[in-house]
């Protein structure tokens, strides 16, 4: 997994687009992009949990969603 590795360019070869009117960058090939702002933050040990307030969403395709479980991506449904 490119984004979990250290010492590599995590975004090499990845197309980045910007949300129209907002200029917010996102991964161009993402089937869904959610726009939110931080509403709250809770710290648990050395982890922070961010709670987002939903502001908008872009749906580009109806690809099967994935979830990360036991070190693998698995389809939902």
Mean pLDDT in residue range 57-77? 85
Between 39 and 58, whose confidence is greater?
39
Mean pLDDT in residue range 35-62? 93
Mean pLDDT in residue range 39-48? 96
Asked if residue 42 lies in contact with residue 49, where contact means CB atoms within 8 angstroms, the answer is yes
Q: What pLDDT shows up at residue 1?
A: 59
Question: Domains along the chain?
Answer: 2-61 (2.30.110.10)
pTM for the whole structure: 0.63
The tokens of 14 are what?
């990845």
Q: What is the DSSP string of the chain?
A: -GGG-SSS-TTTT--EEE-TTT--EEETT-SEEEEEEEEEEEEETTEEEEEEEEEEEEE---PPPEEEETTEEEE--
As a whole number of angstroms, the distance between CA 77 and CA 71 comes to: 18
């Amino acid at each position: 997994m490119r984004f979990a590795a250290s010492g590599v360019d995590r975004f090499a070869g990845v197309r980045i687009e910007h949300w129209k009117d907002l200029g917010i960058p996102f991964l161009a090939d993402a089937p869904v992009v959610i726009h939110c702002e931080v509403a709250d933050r809770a710290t648990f040990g050395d982890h922070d949990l961010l709670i987002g307030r939903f502001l908008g969403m872009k749906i580009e395709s109806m690809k099967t969603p994935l979830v990360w479980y036991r070190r693998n991506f698995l389809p939902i449904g």
